Amino acid sequence: INSDKEKYWLHVSSDASRLAIIWKYGGIYMDTDIISLRPIPEANFLAAQGSRSSSNGVFGFEPRHPFLWACMENFVEHYNSHLWGNQGPLLMTRMLRVRCRLGDFQELGDLKCQNVSFLHPQRFYPIPFREWRRYYQVWDPPHPSFPASYALHLWNFMNRRERKTVQAGSNTLAEHLYRQHCPRTYRILVRGPQGFVTRGLGPMTP
- Convert the pLDDT of each residue in 2-54 to its tens digit: 888 888 888 899 999 999 999 999 999 999 999 999 999 999 999 999 888 99
Task: Specify whether 135 is located in the same domain as 75.
Answer: no
- Convert the pLDDT of each residue in 84-93 to its tens digit: 889 999 999 9
Task: Specify whether 64 is located in the same domain as 134.
Answer: no
Assign 3-class secondary structure to 37-95. Answer: CCCCCCCCEEEEEECCEEEEEEEEECCCCHHHHHHHHHHHHCCCCCCCCCCCHHHHHHH
Number of domains in the chain: 2
Q: Of the candidates 123, 140, 171, which is a domain's last residue?
A: 123
